[in-house]
A and B are shown apart, each in its own frame.
Chain A
Amino acid sequence: MQWDWQVFCEDTITREVQPRCFGPGGDITYVEWMLSAWGWTVSVSVLALLLALLTGSVVGTLRTLPSSPWVVRLGNAWVELFRNIPLLVQIFLWYHVIPALVPALKGVPGFVLVVIALGLFTSARIAEQVKSGIQSLPRGQRYAALALGLTTAQAYRYVLLPMAFRIIIPPLTSETMNIFKNSSVAFAVSVAELTMFAMQAQEETSRGIEIYLAVTGLYIVSAFAINRLMAFIERRVRVPGFIAAAGGAGGH
C-alpha cells in the first residue's frame, strides 16, 4: 500500500495541498482540523474527569459513613444507576430525553451535556474505588481517630481519606485513562472530537489508514500523558513504608 501523508496538508474545502500546512492564512487544513478535534477530546475528558473526581469522591465517602444507612443507600443507588446503564445510552438520555422533559435544558450545548454524562458515568466507578479504598483500611484507624476526639468529618479528612486515596491511585489511573477513550462517544451528539474527525476525514479523503493512525497516535499520547501525570503524583505523595510496592524505594 502507498502512504500519502500529504493529505494532512490539504485544505478541507478544495482539497488542494496548502503551501503552509499549519498556521494562519489559507483555508483550514486537515491537520489543523485534527488538532482542534484533539482540543475538544481533551476538553471533554479533562472537564468530565474533574466532575467525576469531585462527585465520585463525595459519593464514595458517603457510602462508608457508619451510622447513616439512608445516605449509604442513596450512594449505592447512585453508583448502581450510573454503572448499569451503557455509556452511549446515558449520552442519548442526556441529549435527547432529558431536554424533552425539562425544557430549560433545551438551550444547553451538547458539549456540556456530554461532560455531565461522561462525568457522572465515571463518578460511579470512582465512588466504588473510593469506597473500597476506605474499607481496605484497618477498622482500628477509624476508632483510633474517634478515640483521639476527632469528629467524623475530621477523622475522614485527616486519617481515612489521605490513606485511602493513596491506595486507590493505581485504579484511578486506569479510570482517568478510560475517560479519554470513553470521550469518543461524544461524537454521537455532535461534538467535533477526534473520533468524529476520523470518521469524517476518512470519508472525505479516502485515506482512512493514515487518518486513523494519526488519530490513534493522539489518543495514545493523551492517555499516556495522564498515565505519567498520575505516576508522578503517586511518587510525590508516597508515604515511605506504607505501600511497599510503590516504586520499591520505601520498604521496611
Chain B
Amino acid sequence: MKKHLLALALTAIAATAAHAQANDTLAKIKSTGSVTMGVRESSGVLSYTLGDGKYTGYHVEICQRVLADIQKQLGLAKLDIKYQPVTSQNRIPLVQNGTVDIECGSTTNNQARQRDVAFAVTTFIEEVRMAVKANSGINSIKDLNGKNVATTTGTTSVQTLRRHERATGVDFKEVYGKDHADSFLLLESGRADAFVMDGSLLAGLIARSKNPADFKIVGEVLSVEPIAIMFRKDDPAFKKAVDDSVIAMMKSGELAKIYDKWFMQPTPPNGVKMNMPMSEALKQAIANPNDRPMEAYAAK
C-alpha cells in the first residue's frame, strides 16, 4: 500500500514538473537542448517539404533565424531542431499538448484560435482572391453569376465565399476539391470557372502549372488574413523572445530580404518563381509590427 502511495506521489510530482515545463518553452529548450518546429508538407512557399524529411520555406527560414537568436539568448552551445510535419487538422492540438514548440506553417491568426494558442507578430498577410482562366472574361465577383466556383474543403475560404454569396446576391455554384492541387485541376479541366483561395497558394499553383500564361489572378480581395508563427498560450517569455527576434529582422530589413528570396527569386527544388511583390498590407505590418487577429482587419 505504501509503495502504491509513493508511486502515486512520484507520478503527481512528475506530472506537475512536466506541466510547469510545458508552459515555459524557454526552460524546456534549455534543459533538453532541442526544440520541435511544426512545418507543413505543402503550404505554398510559406512552408513545404523538399523530401527526405527536409523542410524549407519563408516561414521555416524565419523560424530558423528566431531559434538561432533564442539559442544565443539561452547561451546554448548546440540547439537541435526537430521538424514535425503538421496538418490543418492537427496543428493546434499538437502545439497545445507540447509535441510542437513553434509552428511555422501558414496558420491564420484569428480570435477563435487565440483562445487556444498564441501568435507571434504577423509575418505574412494573405489576401484571398480568385484564379481564372486568362481567356474566361471573369474579372470580378459579380461576373460569377451562374458559374461554378471551386475552393478546397477544410479551408476558411469556403466560409468567405459563402459570406460573399449572401452579401452580394451573386448566385454561383460551389464545387470543392479535396486539396489545393485537386481544386486547381477542377479549374484546369473546366469543371470550375474560378478557384477562390489564398493569393500565395494560387500564385504557387499557377507558377507550377503546365501553362502559367493560361491563368490569372483577378478580382477584389475577398478577405485579408494575417498569417503568423504559432506557439503555446500563456508563455510570455517565449512570446517576447520570438517577437523580439522577428521585430529585429523587420527593423533591419532582413525580413524584406527573406521575402524577396522566397516570393521574387527562383525557389527550390525546381527554380519556380512566384513573382508576388509584397502587398501594401504586409508592408504596413512590417512598419508597425503587431499580432492583431483577422477580425481586426475585417473591421477596417
Contact = CB atoms under 8 A, between A and B. Distances in A.
A190 B153 CA distance: 9
Contacts of B154: 199-200, 202-203
Contacts of B16: none
B189 A96 contact: yes
Contacts of A202: 89, 154
A190 B176 contact: yes
Nearest to A202: B89
Interface residues of B, number: 24
A204 B113 contact: no
Interface string B63-94: 00000000000000000000000001100100
A190 B175 contact: yes
B162 A203 contact: no
A188 B88 CA distance: 17
B252 interface: no
Which of A12, A202, A204 has the most chain B CB within a 10 Å cutoff? A204
A206 B108 CA distance: 12
A206 B92 contact: yes
Interface in B148-189: 153-156, 158-159, 162-163, 166, 175-178, 182, 185-186, 189
Contacts of B156: 203-204
Contacts of A192: 176
Interface in A177-221: 187-188, 190, 192, 196, 199-200, 202-206, 208
B112 interface: yes
A39 B113 CA distance: 31
Interface string A86-109: 000000000010011000001000
A113 to B, nearest CB: 11
Given A190-B176, A200-B154, A13 B89 contact: no
Given A96-B189, A100-B189, A206-B113, A199 B159 contact: no
B116 interface: yes
A180 to B, nearest CB: 19
Nearest to A203: B154
A205 B185 CA distance: 28
A47 B162 CA distance: 29
B153 A200 contact: yes
Interface residues of A, number: 20
A196 B151 CA distance: 13
B163 A13 contact: yes
Given A13-B162, A190-B175, A199 B153 contact: yes
A100 B178 CA distance: 20
A204 B159 contact: yes
Interface string B134-159: 00000000000000000001111011
A183 B88 CA distance: 23
Given A204-B159, A206-B92, A196 B189 contact: no
B87 to A, nearest CB: 11
A187 B176 contact: yes
Nearest to A195: B153
A200 B159 CA distance: 9
B185 A96 contact: yes
A188 B166 contact: no
A200 B92 contact: no
B177 A190 contact: yes
Contacts of A196: 153, 176
Contact of A206 (B116, B163, B175, B186): B116
A13 B175 CA distance: 18
B189 A200 contact: no
Contacts of A106: 190
A100 B92 CA distance: 40
B158 A204 contact: yes
B112 to A, nearest CB: 5
Nearest to A209: B93
A206 B166 contact: no
B167 to A, nearest CB: 9
B89 A208 contact: yes
Contacts of B175: 110, 190
Contacts of B185: 96
| A-B CB proximity, top 8 nearest | A199-B154, A190-B175, A188-B178, A190-B176, A203-B154, A206-B112, A199-B153, A204-B159
14 contacts: A13-B159, A13-B162, A13-B163, A13-B166, A187-B153, A188-B178, A192-B176, A196-B153, A200-B153, A200-B154, A202-B154, A203-B89, A203-B156, A206-B113
Interface of B: 88-89, 92, 112-113, 116, 153-156, 158-159, 162-163, 166, 175-178, 182, 185-186, 189-190
Interface of A: 12-13, 96, 99-100, 106, 110, 187-188, 190, 192, 196, 199-200, 202-206, 208
